[in-house]
Homo-oligomer: A and B are copies of this chain.
């Protein structure tokens, strides 16, 4: 059973894995995606993953066999385990609990070789629908306080398999970074009586210098204080705290905005490694008035070094205004 341990100074939680412990010889110095062997995410290899949680399939095909378009399975090496009790306990001044949670993989396409993961509109819509479906389903489990949807693309971004996939981790505590955002948004709201994200979106749309893409319901922009070159956020224009509350009529717009934005990043930066993360409110939604869900996309072009780790300060050699200009120029599709 993985263990959750809390740092008593900063209150950050860490998942300590107690199975398949890695010793000094088990780390590759050069990150590499395992290419050899059989891909467990390819059609025909469904038996190599745990049984699927859900899938969107061709008519008349059977679960855990080929014929799917998007397939969601439990992670074979989960960071957190779905079965069990939290069993909160202390050890002197330290706090810990069992690593209970969900860890799922969203296999985005049957096509292992899809070029640059630039999907057609229908496929991207299926992927976003899978995010929404899994989010809403897991939110019903009262043990979970937060549901994190994210994608790692490329070895430098932490991916260990090549086949296009995203992940979902549901956690029994609200992660520290989420609490920071919620608390910052709360303070702004109590001072201004306005959502800080709504204010940001309004100012970005009005200045226009960092906008990358705009649709009826969504806007993609390079944030004013971008930590990384070509960092890009996508946010709904209307105030909404929880990703799970997206309207059916907005899902297609989100899929189009995500596809357009990722397409521009992939073209402009020549298939960079990247992460994206859906930032949404904690499951309790106590922050519904002042939190505002959004997606943060981070191309992994620079290394995070000692200065960034020690300070939380980032040095960004590409001003976001320039990044937006480069992305706007890109000849997407």
Where the two chains meet, the residues of A that have a C-beta atom closer than 8 Å to any C-beta of B are 5-18, 20-24, 27, 29, 31, 79, 91-94, 146, 148, 150-152, 155-159, 167, 169, 171, 175-178, 180-181, 184-185, 188, 196-197, 199-200, 203, 207, 223-227, 229-230, 268-270, 272-273, 275-279, 296, 298, 301-320, 322, 326
Contact = CB atoms under 8 A, between A and B. Distances in A.
Contact of A303 (B16, B158, B181): B158
Contacts of A159: 305
Contacts of A155: 303
Contact of A157 (B24, B196, B229, B306): B306
A317 B17 contact: yes
A322 B310 CA distance: 25
Shortest 5 CB-CB contacts between residues of A and residues of B: A158-B305, A150-B306, A175-B311, A277-B310, A177-B312
Nearest to A176: B312
Number of copies: 2
A322 B175 contact: no
Given A5-B224, A6-B225, A151-B306, A313 B171 contact: yes
Contacts of A171: 311, 313
Contacts of A279: 310
A62 to B, nearest CB: 32
23 contacts: A8-B184, A9-B188, A9-B197, A11-B184, A12-B312, A12-B313, A14-B226, A15-B313, A15-B316, A16-B225, A18-B319, A24-B269, A27-B229, A92-B203, A93-B199, A146-B311, A150-B309, A158-B304, A158-B305, A178-B310, A275-B309, A275-B310, A296-B309
